[in-house]
Structure 1
Amino acid sequence: MSSEDKAALIETLGRTVMRWQDATQKFDELVGHIYGLSASERLCLSFLWPGPQTASAIAREIRLTPAAVTTLVDRLEKRGYVRRKADPTDRRKVMVEAAESAHELTAQVYLPLGAAGAKMLEKYSMAELGMVDKVLSDAMAIQEQAVANLLAIHNSEQQD
């Protein structure tokens, strides 16, 4: 493969990733519209999928103030998507966990998408899947660094 061919393929991949990001955003926005969930609420529910989290962990993950997270959790709790519970190791801490209705929403909307993706990935070899994992992990690291850089610029401009 020539360097021009490689450059063209990299450009094509870049456009494909942009279209994939747009498609993902459209899907998530449609879920939000249908179920009445804001972007922050969807991010919170996604963050709670693996298990309960503290409000401060939620605030760090979705970049909201603790007061804004309290309001967000209040809204989600009122709608039955989350519940608060005491931390079993420190009764002074409150944990937030996804409630059954959040799991039902995920099962109805996101699990079929995940299953379709898993079925699509079955056609690839272990080596190809390893490469996809590496590329996606590297891309996420770049994206996370871009977020950190943008926040640093924004925060320094706010202080000026």
Structure 2
Amino acid sequence: MRAYRSAEMAMRRRTQESMAMGENELLVLRFLTRSAAANSAVTPIDLARHLGVSTASMTALLDRLEKSGHLRRRPHPSDRRKVLVSSTTHADDEMRDTLTGMHARMMQATRGMTEEETVAVTGFLDRMRCAVADLCGRSGTCCPPARAQHSSPLSSDAAA
């Protein structure tokens, strides 16, 4: 996990450098891309909540992304008090150009996995996500337990 996280963080740094953006700018663009795919309208307040930042910070971030041509703001069609935010074709193209190779390599890494392997990896990642997100507080009791299977060097039985 440490080696994977280290490689992932290095990939994020390379992506930020190649697109000349910080982490929050990339998170905004990813959120906008997913929202567009779901045909969901996005306001600056939605983005501020998603990132957990103030609306003032979000305004500054959106100003930078708009100035660089990565997003546009437009009036809400039915509520004059709101503004909608969307990524531009330029942003979509740049993200696709930057990330396509990495996504292809990630998909290649999963090809050929058996159903049993997929279930095991997915279960492990769900438990790790829960543990890292601290969804259950210190007890960790709401994280799904690992299923007892064959003994392995990583199981608690084998270590005992």
TM bin, normalised by shorter chain, reads 0.7 to 0.9
Residue of structure 2 equivalent to 1:126: 115
* Partner-residue secondary structure (3-state), 2:34: coil
**TM norm structure 2:** 0.72
Residue of structure 1 equivalent to 2:81: 92
Q: Distance in 2 between matches of 1:96 and 1:141?
A: 31
Distance 1:136 1:86, change over 3 A: farther
Distance 1:126 1:66, change over 3 A: same
- Segments of 5+ residues of structure 1 without an aligned counterpart are 1-16, 150-160
**Which one has the bigger helix percentage?**
1
Q: Deviations over 1:35-92 (max 9, x none)?
A: 2101211121122221242212211222211100001001001111111133445443
* Partner-residue secondary structure (3-state), 1:53: coil
Moved segments of 4+, more than 4 Å: none
- Segments of 5+ residues of structure 2 without an aligned counterpart are 36-40, 139-160
Q: Deviations over 1:81-130 (max 9, x none)?
A: 11113344544322211111221122111122112111221110123213
Equivalent residue pairs, number:
132
Q: Distance in 2 between matches of 1:86 and 1:129?
A: 44
Residue of structure 1 equivalent to 2:32: 48
Residue of structure 2 equivalent to 1:140: 129
* Partner-residue secondary structure (3-state), 1:50: helix
* Partner-residue secondary structure (3-state), 1:96: strand
Q: After the TM superposition, which of the residue ranges 63-72 and 92-101 deviates more from structure 2?
A: 92-101
- Identity percentage of aligned residues: 24
